[in-house]
Structure 1
Amino acid sequence: MKPNPLDQLPIPTTNGNLHKPLITTNHFILPVITLALLITVHLYIGNFSDLRLLNTATPAGNSTEDLKCNIFQGSWVFDDERETYYTNETKCVIDDRQNCMKYGRPDTDFMKWRWKPDKCELPEFDAAEFLEVVRGKRLAFIGDSVGRNQMQSLVCMLASEAYPIDVSYTNDTRFRRWEFPSYNFTLIAIWSPLLVKTRDPNPTNFTRESIMNLYLDEPDDAWTSEIENIDVIIFSAGQWFFRPFMYYEKGEIVGCHFCNKENITDLTVYYAYQMAFRTAFTTLLNHQNFTGLAFLRTFSPQHFENGDYNNGGNCVRTRPFSKEEMKLDGYKLQMYLTQVNEFKIAQSEGEMRNKEVKLRLLDTSDAMIMRGDGHPNHFGHPASDNKSYPDCVHWCMPGPVDTWNEFLLEMLKMEEGEGFIERAPQRNITKLNLR
């Protein structure tokens, strides 16, 4: 589902008007204004800057505090010798809509950029190591099709070590289960694009403009019915929140988004985004039988240029932006800050209540805002299918989405010292050539 282009709201800014001073000496006014601006900047930074530095990794061989490295802060570097972890020939499922090479994408450099943290190196993904770390566990991706994009990437990345077996109990591709029997590991995808309950008042006449009911304080049964049997959860959600909704809390309408109805408050997408994550995190913390590890994978930006998805917009770039050229800003930054702020609140509450649930941040947004070259665009379907919109939301496979799973492995390894994951001894296993 593509975001509604009308709802790309800017970040609210404060009014910069100043009261006329009583003293008009220029040498006095300038320091006062400067001091006021510094105080304003300090307050803003105090509220938000720490959100970007929640997770650190220490380079191999160093353990001192001053050598810690934020693996999520860095830049993309070109590596002409870099090999992909899989191809479209690998024995795993790559959704045609993200299988860019199958439908003739002419450039291949988008697969040769690797993520370089500012103060360390991000290790390459090791499928055997990942499977040892999660041996005997059940890991679930809960969210939308971009979350499923990451899940499919992970299945393909693991296929070099062990055959993934599809044990899904339904033909619905939005709900998938893969088993790796030799590791007693299960990988699950649960479709819940808004994390909370929804209802379409007109299911037989569904369109992009249909107004759905969104119950902001009621978690979606699709995932709450499963979580007591899951060890590791990865939550993600984003683009679906931009469509029209009627918002409910405690069974009553509290507002709407793009409903154009009189006497109903028009609430921003940020309010619904905040409340959905608040409900999800609260549900986890209050659940009696979930004591596992939960990640928030942060907002995944889309990159439409030259227009919106339905009026000429596309994503034709063949190389990443530099971090000087492209940063999170506008509505994308606001979406990021909204979900991360709810994460921080929940994490603090969990620690205060001594809950066994561990909340961690998989902070991919800064890296992905630079990857306008990594989307399928028109290479997610046959050229004869000229009615399809360009896809500048999902990610080509293989492509930059694989980096998310490099991050994930490093995050899981960080938990070992806290006793959550007990790794089995490394074994010498002959790798399967499944490409």
Structure 2
Amino acid sequence: MKKSFSTYSSSSPLRKTRVSPFVFTLLAFIVFVAIIYGQDLGCLLKRPTNDLRPNSERQKKSRTGELPFAVGKIKEEKCDVFNGRWVRDESNRPMYEEWECPYIQPQLTCQEHGRPEKEYQHRRWQPHGCSLPSFNATFMLEKLRGKRMMFVGDSLNRGQYVSMVCLLHRIIPEHAKSMETFDSLTVFRAKDYNATIEFYWAPFLLESNSDDAVIHRVTDRIVRRGSINKHGRFWKGADIVVFNTYLWWMTGMKMKILRGSFNDSVKDIIEMETDDAYHLAMKSMLKWAQKNLDPQKTRVFFTSMSPSHGRSIDWGGDPNGSCYNQTTPIEDPSYWGSGQDKRIMRVIGEVFSKSKVPITFLNITQLSEYRKDAHTSIYKKQWSPLTPEQLANPVSYADCVHWCLPGLQDTWNELLYAKLFYP
């Protein structure tokens, strides 16, 4: 049965108070400005990041106790862990070696593919005013005992998933771990812990014509409205869910939205602005989570947009350059990047602020904006043979979207670890 998109009830606590258009516009502008400067969404809404809910929902949480998996608080409770700077760290970085983690895809193994230096591996995120809890693989596996942790989204979320597996697998004996792929689902098993860490390929979260886990590189992308249950049935029962969706929406054109089924002989397709289509997907994700996940046992995360660095002129570099040959982070703390990120952040702010689902927003966008040095660039397995013209101009084929492992995405998981156990 086809699911349709619905709006929140007018009885929602967020809609009871009438305000003038001027006040509403002013408040919306303040939230938007705060978002684009990289603030934690929980701080924007004057509540903790893990608690993006109306007042009535927050009161319910206080009566029922701590969030699932929480064991304490960061000592400096008001510290924004997403606001900080990158520092060089020779002693604690990298957190594992590329060669010792067999699960990294060849599209992310930069040393194997000839990257001549390792500076990108020796950067640690240092929040202003506090420190991140140290990632403890033994502790995390104990907390995952008998549980399912699932990453859902695109190849950037898969990179974060593989990073998590690499951070954990070293303390598991060889005979007690395995990784298998079943179509869109990849499952890493820690057998002695009866735990799984899983990745599900769903680049739009909704059903689309890009859902084949292997053959999905289509330019004419179509997303089916109200179809999240097509994939969501595989997510049910997970104890920790980490969603992301962003990259595949950025076509530079309007999105094609299918009303009906991909099996219909005559397809009913409309075009929609990217922001509006993304808004529908976010609402659908939250509605699914509210209906299918138990907030007393499950934690839901959403990883924000992973930035790209395809134009070095953006940070004052060569007008014809990109992330290729970049070996140091951007030092300017006010650097932001593309305007598209700002528009999508605004959509997330609007939708999440009305959510009845307790969801933790992992705002990795701003801290990742600084890391022009951390992309795979040309140091990866290429999807197709390179032409002589490309080989003569490495900038033309440098991948400034994905990230080397070990590297930046290990920090994303440190932040996930911090928000999971110390919300």
- Pairwise TM-score range, normalised by the shorter structure: 0.7 to 0.9
Matches within 5 A, 1:167-246: 167-168=179-180, 170=182, 172=183, 174-199=184-209, 208-209=218-219, 211-219=220-228, 221-222=230-231, 224-243=232-251, 245-246=255-256
Q: Which has the higher contact order (CA 8 A, sep 6+)?
A: 2
Q: How far apart are the structure 2 equivalents of 1:294 and 1:70?
A: 19
Quote the offset at 1:115 in angstroms: 0.3
Does the 8 A contact of 1:92 with 1:155 survive in 2? Answer: no
Does the 8 A contact of 1:217 with 1:250 survive in 2? Answer: no
- The alignment partner of 1:380 has SS state of coil
> 1:407 matched to which residue of 2?
415
Does the 8 A contact of 1:319 with 1:371 survive in 2? Answer: yes
TM-score (norm 2): 0.73
Q: Unaligned 5+ residue runs, structure 1?
A: 1-36, 257-266, 351-357, 416-435
> 1:380 matched to which residue of 2?
380
Does the 8 A contact of 1:70 with 1:117 survive in 2? Answer: yes
Distance 1:411 1:106, change over 3 A: same
Does the 8 A contact of 2:85 with 2:128 survive in 1? Answer: yes
> 1:322 matched to which residue of 2?
331
Distance 1:169 1:81, change over 3 A: closer
* Aligned partner letter, 1:165: K
Does the 8 A contact of 2:326 with 2:373 survive in 1? Answer: yes
Does the 8 A contact of 2:282 with 2:348 survive in 1? Answer: yes
- The alignment partner of 2:223 has SS state of strand
Quote the offset at 1:120 in angstroms: 0.2
> 1:296 matched to which residue of 2?
302
Does the 8 A contact of 1:192 with 1:220 survive in 2? Answer: no
Q: How far apart are the structure 2 equivalents of 1:191 and 1:61?
A: 33
Distance 1:155 1:375, change over 3 A: same
- Choose the corresponding residue for 2:340, options 331, 344, 349: 331
Q: How far apart are the structure 2 equivalents of 1:386 and 1:161?
A: 39
Quote the offset at 1:240 in angstroms: 0.6
> 1:133 matched to which residue of 2?
143
Q: How far apart are the structure 1 equivalents of 2:330 and 2:321?
A: 21
- The alignment partner of 1:227 has SS state of coil
Quote the offset at 1:123 in angstroms: 2.8
Does the 8 A contact of 1:295 with 1:360 survive in 2? Answer: yes
Distance 1:70 1:207, change over 3 A: closer
* Aligned partner letter, 1:168: E
The answer to whether residue 30 in structure 2 is matched with residue 45 in structure 1 is yes
Q: How far apart are the structure 1 equivalents of 2:282 and 2:165?
A: 26
Aligned residues: 348
> 1:255 matched to which residue of 2?
270
- The alignment partner of 2:406 has SS state of coil
Does the 8 A contact of 1:99 with 1:396 survive in 2? Answer: yes
* Aligned partner letter, 1:316: N
- Choose the corresponding residue for 1:283, options 285, 288, 313: 288
Tell me the alpha carbon deviations over residues 272-310 of structure 1, each in whole angstroms, 9 at most, x when there is no partner: 1111111111111122778621101111111112599xx
Who wins on radius of gyration, i.e. which is larger?
1
Q: How far apart are the structure 2 equivalents of 1:166 and 1:386?
A: 34
* Aligned partner letter, 2:223: L
Does the 8 A contact of 1:166 with 1:176 survive in 2? Answer: no
Does the 8 A contact of 1:56 with 1:69 survive in 2? Answer: no
> 1:155 matched to which residue of 2?
165
Distance 1:167 1:323, change over 3 A: same
Quote the offset at 1:198 in angstroms: 1.4
Quote the offset at 1:84 in angstroms: 1.3
Q: Unaligned 5+ residue runs, structure 2?
A: 1-21, 43-47, 51-69, 262-266, 315-319, 391-396
Q: How far apart are the structure 2 equivalents of 1:144 and 1:62?
A: 30
Tell me the alpha carbon deviations over residues 389-417 of structure 1, each in whole angstroms, 9 at most, x when there is no partner: 321111100001100111111111136xx
Distance 1:254 1:217, change over 3 A: same
Distance 1:42 1:225, change over 3 A: closer
> 1:273 matched to which residue of 2?
278
Does the 8 A contact of 1:56 with 1:68 survive in 2? Answer: no
Distance 1:196 1:78, change over 3 A: same
Quote the offset at 1:228 in angstroms: 2.3
Q: How far apart are the structure 2 equivalents of 1:410 and 1:288?
A: 22
Q: How far apart are the structure 1 equivalents of 2:206 and 2:73?
A: 43
- Choose the corresponding residue for 1:103, options 80, 92, 113: 113
- The alignment partner of 1:392 has SS state of strand
Distance 1:241 1:46, change over 3 A: closer
TM-score (norm 1): 0.71
State percent identity of aligned pairs. 25
Q: How far apart are the structure 2 equivalents of 1:307 and 1:253?
A: 42
Q: How far apart are the structure 1 equivalents of 2:224 and 2:25?
A: 36
